[in-house]
Structure 1
Amino acid sequence: MEEIDVPGRKKKHKRRSLVGIIFVLIQLIASVVAAVLIGNSKVIPAKYFLAGCFLLAVLFLVALLLQLIKSKVAHVTGIIFSILVCIAICIGGYSFSKVYSVLTDIGGAEYKTDNMIVVVRKDDPAETILDAADYIFATQSIADQENNEKMLKKLRTVTGKELTTREFGTIFEEAQALLDGKIDAAIYNEAFDEVIEEQISGYGDQVRILYQYGVDTKLKTVNQSVKEPFNVYISGIDVYGPVSKTSRSDVNIIATVNPNTKQVLLTTTPRDYYVEIPGVSNGQKDKLTHAGIYGVDASMATLAKVYNTEINYYARVNFTSLINIVDTIGGIDVNSEYAFEAGGYSFVQGVNHMDGEMALAFSRERHSFAGGDNQRGKNQEAVLTAIINKMLEPSMLTKAMDILDTLGESVQTNVPDRHLASLVEMQLNSGGNWSILTMSAVGTGDEQACYSTGSQLLYVMQPNEVSVRSISDKINRILGGEILTQ
C-alpha cells in the first residue's frame, strides 16, 4: 500500500502545485496589466504609483512563496490569497477605469452644435418636411445668417426643390408672422425659442417642430496647461435635458484658478450685462445671455473682452445638471444673505440645507431682491462654492462612483481629458485645501435695443465700469500668483 500511496500523493502534490502556479501567474498578469493602465493614464502621482507597484510585487512574492512550500495548507492558502488579490485588482481596476472614463466623457469637447429647426403651427397638416416642400419658409435677417444658410441648403437637398422664402427683420417678426398665418413655416436656431417666448407669451404651445438639423462647428483647440494659472468659463444654460444643447446662458461665472497658490476666484457677471459679442454683433451691444445663442465660444470671447483677460476653457451645465449634482452629493448648505420665497420654497437668512430642486430655485430667483440680477449672481456663487466645499469633504469618497456617474452625464467641457487627469494627479500629489474667493459684477438697469432682437427695447444692465476694472485687476493678480484675501 505504501509503495502505491506515495506516488499518488506526489501526483496530487504536483497537481496542487501546478494549479497554484497557474493562479500565481494569473495574479502576476492582472498586476502587470493594472500597473500599465494606471501608469499610462497619468492620473496617479509617481510616488503613489511606485508605492502601488511595490505593493503588487510584494503580494506576488507572497503568493509565489506559498506555492513553493511543500504543504497542502500553504498551497490552498496561496490559491485563496491569489484569488482575493485578483478580485481586489479587478475592483480597483474597475473603479479606476470608471474615473478615467468619466474624465474622457466630460473632457475634450471639440464641437458646438446648433440645432436648426423648421417650425409650423401646431394644427398644420404637414407630417414630414416633404409635405411642406411647397410652403413659404421664413428666416430673419438680424442674426445667425450662416446657420440659416446651412439649413436652407440642407432643406433644398432633402426636398429636392428650390424653396420659397421670405425674410423678416427680427426673430419676433418671423415668429408672429407664423402665428398670424402670413407664412407657413419658420426657420431658426432652436436657441431663440426662449427669446421668442419672453416677448410672445404662449408661443411654444402654438407651434411644433417639423424638422431639425444639427450644425456642427469645430471649436478652437486650446493648448493651455492646467499646471499653470488659467481661466475657465462656467456656463449655466437655461434649459433642461442634454447639456450639449445650444442655449442662452443664465449663469456666467469665470473661475480663475491658480494651482500653484491653490486659489480660485469666482466672478459672476449678470446675464443682462449690455456688452458687445466679438465676431458676432459687429460692434453692436446685446445681453450677455444672448451670446450663448451663438455658442459657448461667443460667450467666452464676450467675457474675455469685458475683463481684458484670456479665457482658456469652459464647462457647461444646465438645470438638470444642477439638480442631479446636488442630489447626488446629498444636498448642500448654502448661506443666504436674505430671507425670501421662490419656486415654492422659503429661504431663511443664514444657512439653508438644499436639495437639487431647492438649489435651482435659489439660483434662479431675482425678483425678490432690490439688487435683482446682481443678487442672483451672488446667490449662484454661493451655490457653486457650497458644491465645491461639499465635494472636498472626505465623506464624499463613499459616494465617488455615484458622483462620477452624475458628472459624466451633467457636465461638458473642452478641457482635454489628459489635462483633467493632470488636475487630479496634482491634487492627489499635493493635497491641501483651496481658497475660494468671490466677486460679482454690478450695473444699473436700462432699456436698450439688442443685436439679437432688432430695434425692440429690452431690459439690459449697463456695466459699472469701476466694478469691471476691479474684477479685471483681481483676475490678473490671481493669475500672476499674488495671494489675495476676500
Structure 2
Amino acid sequence: MKKKKRTPKEFNKQKKLEKNVRRSLDIEKSFKGNNKEEGRYYEEIYYNPAKSVSGNRSDLGTKKKALGNRKGNARKRNKKDVLGLSLAGLQGLISVVFMVMLFILDMLPIGYLGIIAVILLLLLGITLATQLRKRGRRIGGKVFSLFIMILLLFTTYYIGKAKGALGEISGGSYKVDNMVVAVLVNDDAEVIDDTVAYKFGVQYTMSGDDVRSAVADINEKLGTEIQTVEYGSLSEQAQALHDGQVQAIIYNEGYTGILEEAFENYSENVKVIYQHSIKKELDNTAAQVEVKKDTFSVFISGIDVFGPIETNSRSDVNIVATINPTTHQILLTTTPRDYYVEIPGISGGQKDKLTHAGIYGVDASMRTLSQLYDTEIPFYARVNFTSLIEIVDQLGGVDVESELAFTTSPDSGLVMDVAQGTNHFNGQQALAFSRERQNIEGGDNQRGKNQQAVITGLIKKMISPAMLVNANGIINSVSGNVETNMSQDQIQDLIKDQLTQGKAWNIYSVAAAGTGDEQVCFSYGGGALYVMQPDQVSVDTIRSLIDRVENGETLEGSEIAQ
C-alpha cells in the first residue's frame, strides 16, 4: 500500500512533537527510570508519533503537567534537605561553642566534659540521621534540632553569666570606709549644701586620716572651710550633737552599731545627709596556697547589713573554717561577737569587742583571730543577710539540726517555731535561726552554735547533686552579696576536686567560751560596754584542734557530709 505523503503543516507538527518527546525523555531520565508506566508511555509516543498527534494530544498534556508537578516536588524535597543539613551544621557549631564555654568556666573534670561531648555528638547524629533518610518529610528531625540548639544557647548564655559573676565574687582586694555626716532627725538640713554655717563635731583618735579626707571633701563641695570642733572620743562627739554643741558630726558609718549600743534609739534620732567613700587595698597573702593539697583556714564573716558587701561593718558571724583537703576534715570554730580581745595594728594594745574589728576591715578581723588562735588565716569569705537568704533558696532550702526548741523573737527578722532536731528552713527562716539570741538559753554562745549548724547544712547540700543543678543560679544570685579573696582559679580547683573525688567530708564544730563582763572598748572610748571575757581553756582547746587538723588527723565525733 502506498504511503500517504505528509503535508508541510503535518511535518512541522511531527517535528515539534518529537522535540517535546525528547525533552520529556530527558526529564524521565532524571527520575532514573523508576516509573515504568511513564517510560512505556514515552516509548509509545516515540515509536508511534502519528497516533499521539491524532488521539492522545490531551493525554500528553495531562502527563506533562503531572511530570512538571513531580519535578516541582523534587525541587521542594531538595530544598528541605538543604534546610535540614543546614540546621544540623548549625547545631554542630553551637555544640562546639557550648563545649568551649565549659572549658573556659573550668569547673568540670575532664571525665565530665568527655561525657557531655559524647552526648552532644549523639544528639547531632540523631539530627543527621533524620535528615539523610530517603523517605518521610523529616520535619520531626528539624524540630528536634531547633529544640537542642535553643537549649544549648540558653545554657551557654548562663554559663557566661556565671563566669562573670564568679569573677565578681572572687579575688576581693579592697575594702570601703563610708564616712558620713549626720544631723538630728528634726534638723532642717537635707543635703550638705544646707550646712555651710554649721559646726561639725569631729574626732581624730580613730580613723583620723579618713575623717580628714571627709573634711577636705566637704570643704571642696561647699567651696569654703567648715567649722570643726574636735572631741576625744566617738561618744563625746555623739553627745555633743545631742546637746546642741554642734549641728553635725562626721564619723565612719561602721561605728553606727557602737553608737546604738551606747545611745538608745540612736539611729531613729539622727539622719545622714552626706557620704564620702574611701577605697583601700587589702593585703592578699592567699595567692600561694594550693587549695587541693595544703590545709588552709577561711574566716567566714557575716556582716549585719543588707547593703554593699565591700563596706566595712561590724561582723556578727565570726567563724573560722580550717580545711584539710587531703583528709577531708573541716573544723568550724565559732568565736562570740563580744569576745574581749586586742585588734592587732589598730587598738595599740587596748582591748575591744571582736565584732568591732570588722569596722576596720575584714583584714583586721582576720589578724585578730589569727593572734587569738595562733594560726594563719589566709582566706576570708564575707556574706551579708541577702546572700544567706538567696543561697539557701537557690538550694531549695536546707536541713538544719537544732540543739534546742524555741521561738524566735521579732529582732531576728521572723517569728517562727524551731523544733529540737531536724528543721527544714528556707532562706528567711535560716537567717532568723542564725540571728536569734534573745529567746535561747546560752544567748550569743548558742547563736554561734546555731550558725555553725546552718553552715554544716549548707556544706551537706553543696556537695550533693543539688549543687550541680543549682550552681549557676547560686553564683549569679549571690554576685554582689558574697566576697572572697580566694582567686577564681582556686575556687574552680576546689569544685573540680570535689566532683572528681566525690568523697564525704568530716565536719567538727567547736565554740569558744567566756563569761559576761562590762569593760571600756577601744572603738567607743566612752563608758563601759558589755563584753565577753575569753575562757583561756577553751581557746587552748581550739588551738589544739586546729593543730590536729593541720597534722592530718580525723576528729572523732565529726558529722559526716556526703
TM-score (norm 2): 0.80
Structure 2: which 5+ residue stretches go unaligned? 1-63, 410-414, 558-562
Return the structure number with greater strand share: 1
Equivalent in 88, 93, 97 of residue 151 of structure 2: 88
The match for 1:178 is 241
The match for 2:93 is 29
Residues 232 and 311 of structure 1 are in contact (CA less than 8 Å); yes or no, is this contact kept in structure 2?
yes
Equivalent in 404, 419, 432 of residue 490 of structure 2: 419
Deviations 1:344-377 (A, max 9, x none): 4444443444444444343333345564432222
Equivalent in 222, 225, 230 of residue 290 of structure 2: 225
Write the letter of the residue equivalent to 2:117. Answer: C
Distance 1:87 1:361, change over 3 A: closer
Q: Does 1:465 align with 2:541?
A: no
Higher RCO structure, 1 or 2 (CA under 8 Å, sep 6+): 1
What SS class does the counterpart of residue 205 from structure 1 fall into? Answer: helix
CA distance in 2, matches of 1:391, 1:118: 43
The match for 1:374 is 445
Counting only pairs closer than 5 Å after superposition, residues 114-133 of structure 1 correspond to structure 2 as 114-133=177-196
Q: Does 1:433 align with 2:509?
A: no
Write the letter of the residue equivalent to 1:446. Answer: D
Counting only pairs closer than 5 Å after superposition, residues 94-243 of structure 1 correspond to structure 2 as 94-221=157-284, 222-223=286-287, 224-228=289-293, 229-243=295-309
Determine which structure has more spread, i.e. the larger CA radius of gyration. Answer: 2
Residues 323 and 360 of structure 1 are in contact (CA less than 8 Å); yes or no, is this contact kept in structure 2?
yes
- Structure 1 window deviating more from structure 2 (290-299 vs 101-110): it is 101-110
Residues 142 and 453 of structure 1 are in contact (CA less than 8 Å); yes or no, is this contact kept in structure 2?
no
State the identity as a percent. Answer: 45
CA distance in 1, matches of 2:504, 2:518: 44
Deviations 1:378-407 (A, max 9, x none): 122122222333444546766666545543
Distance 1:54 1:336, change over 3 A: closer
CA distance in 2, matches of 1:98, 1:259: 28
Write the letter of the residue equivalent to 2:258. Answer: V
CA distance in 1, matches of 2:74, 2:419: 79
Distance 1:56 1:309, change over 3 A: same
Equivalent in 371, 375, 378 of residue 305 of structure 1: 371
CA distance in 2, matches of 1:352, 1:79: 48
- Structure 1 window deviating more from structure 2 (176-185 vs 371-380): it is 371-380
Deviations 1:63-90 (A, max 9, x none): 33444444443x4444333223213322
Residues 342 and 362 of structure 1 are in contact (CA less than 8 Å); yes or no, is this contact kept in structure 2?
yes
Q: How many Å apart are 1:292 and its aligned residue? A: 0.6
Q: How many Å apart are 1:6 and its aligned residue? A: 5.1
CA distance in 1, matches of 2:469, 2:101: 24
Equivalent in 379, 384, 402 of residue 336 of structure 1: 402
Residues 142 and 454 of structure 1 are in contact (CA less than 8 Å); yes or no, is this contact kept in structure 2?
no
- Structure 1 window deviating more from structure 2 (130-139 vs 342-351): it is 342-351
CA distance in 1, matches of 2:377, 2:444: 23
The match for 1:17 is 81
Equivalent in 270, 286, 311 of residue 245 of structure 1: 311
Q: Does 1:257 align with 2:323?
A: yes
Q: How many residues align?
A: 485
Write the letter of the residue equivalent to 1:317. Answer: V
Distance 1:30 1:169, change over 3 A: same
The match for 1:282 is 348
Write the letter of the residue equivalent to 1:337. Answer: E
What SS class does the counterpart of residue 528 from structure 2 fall into? Answer: strand
Deviations 1:75-108 (A, max 9, x none): 4444333223213322432453454344234323
Q: How many Å apart are 1:121 and its aligned residue? A: 1.3
Q: Does 1:53 align with 2:117?
A: yes
CA distance in 2, matches of 1:408, 1:18: 45
What SS class does the counterpart of residue 218 from structure 2 fall into? Answer: helix
CA distance in 1, matches of 2:313, 2:416: 26
- Structure 1 window deviating more from structure 2 (446-455 vs 86-95): it is 86-95
Q: Does 1:41 align with 2:116?
A: no
Equivalent in 432, 435, 440 of residue 364 of structure 1: 435
Write the letter of the residue equivalent to 1:255. Answer: A
Distance 1:9 1:111, change over 3 A: same
Equivalent in 337, 362, 367 of residue 271 of structure 1: 337
Deviations 1:5-25 (A, max 9, x none): 554344223312221221122
The match for 2:127 is 63
Deviations 1:15-74 (A, max 9, x none): 12221221122112101111111112211111111222233234334433444444443x
CA distance in 1, matches of 2:434, 2:128: 59
Residues 262 and 529 of structure 2 are in contact (CA less than 8 Å); yes or no, is this contact kept in structure 1?
no
Equivalent in 472, 478, 490 of residue 407 of structure 1: 478
Q: How many Å apart are 1:331 and its aligned residue? A: 4.2
CA distance in 1, matches of 2:255, 2:228: 19
Q: Does 1:384 align with 2:448?
A: no
Residues 254 and 359 of structure 2 are in contact (CA less than 8 Å); yes or no, is this contact kept in structure 1?
yes
Write the letter of the residue equivalent to 1:271. Answer: R
